[in-house]
Amino acid sequence: MAPSRQANLGQQFVVGAIILVAIIGTLAAAILLTLGESAIETANVTPTATATQLLPSATGPATRVTQVTPSPTSTATVTASPSPTPVTASPTTTPHPPSATPETCRIPDAWFAYRVQRGDTLSSIGRRVGLSGIQLQRSNCLDSSTIYEGQFVYVPVQPAPIATPTLAAGTLSPSITPVLPTPGVTAGACTDPNSRITSPAPGSIVRGVTRLWGSAQTEAFDFYKLEIKPSGTGDPFVTFYDNDQPISQDVLHDLVTTRWPNGDYFVRLVVVDVTGNYPERCSVLYTFAN
């Protein structure tokens, strides 16, 4: 019985050892698994700075240990600023005053026409009517101070006659027979019904206050004017009346023939638009017989 019992005890020892090894292995595996999970959780936690207050120990002063966890480095973000848009300076416009419309030169109202005699100058005529030569030149719209015999110059009053030598008794002075001018005709076609003198008829003998009838109108109408010049001379037309109202088959103006000496005269109608242009001008010849 003794050997059999020893054999059973040996078998029990071996089985117990195997069970013990299995238990130890299981415990070791559990410990290793727990440590692995703890390490993973520690890696996922953001470390923070932790200040640890140590109590003074019996052997010396307490030491303050601060564990500093480095903060993540911030990355600077660069934002592109918008490029300035170039501004083009607009040119400065200097305002210009509107150009003045040239005024029409016209003879002063109620002036008389004087026929220049041999030896007359503007200065000599001006002295006889109380004006300077320059004043007379400007009033007659003359570009030059030179005048010639037979030319008409307009003056405010009839010049005083120049003194002539007294004839001796018994000397006969030659008699002068006045000659009236013969009627003339129209010097312009006058075919435009909107720029026409209709009365008096061309070639009429007129005297005193003569009413001129007709029409003076056009597109973009600005004004019309009446001009006059002696027939048979090199004198230019001179404006004696203007009006900024259009006329349609009505009175254009009352012409006073006594402002001029007797003779043949062209009376011209000029209708002007806003651009300074004019249609056909109508020029009619009349005989002044005051």
Question: What CATH code is carried by the domain that includes residue 226?
Answer: 2.70.50.50
Q: For residue 148, what pLDDT is reported?
A: 85
From 91, 126, 155, give the residue that closes a domain: 155
Q: How confident is the model at residue 205 (pLDDT cuts 50, 70, 90)?
A: very high
- What are the E-state strand segments in the chain? 50-52, 65-67, 112-115, 152-155, 195-199, 205-206, 209-216, 221-230, 238-243, 247-256, 263-273, 282-288
At 254 the pLDDT is: 95
> CA-CA distance, 209 to 200, in Å (whole number)?
12
- For the segment 150-181, what is each residue's pLDDT rounded down to a tens digit? 888 888 877 655 555 454 554 444 443 333 33
Q: What is the pLDDT of residues 68-107, one digit of tens each?
A: 555 555 555 555 555 555 555 555 656 555 555 556 778 8
Cα–Cα distance between 143 and 172 in angstroms, integer? 43
**The model scores a pTM over 0.85:** no
In terms of DSSP bridges, do strands 238-243 and 221-230 run parallel, antiparallel, or are they unpaired? antiparallel
Give the tokens for residue 18: 């195997």
Structural domain span for residue 143: 112-155
- CA 235, CA 146: separation in Å to the nearest integer? 12
Structural domain count of the chain: 2
Asked which of 80-84, 147-151, 180-184, 189-193 is least confident by mean pLDDT, the reply is 180-184
Does any domain span residue 146?
yes
Domain presence at residue 124: yes
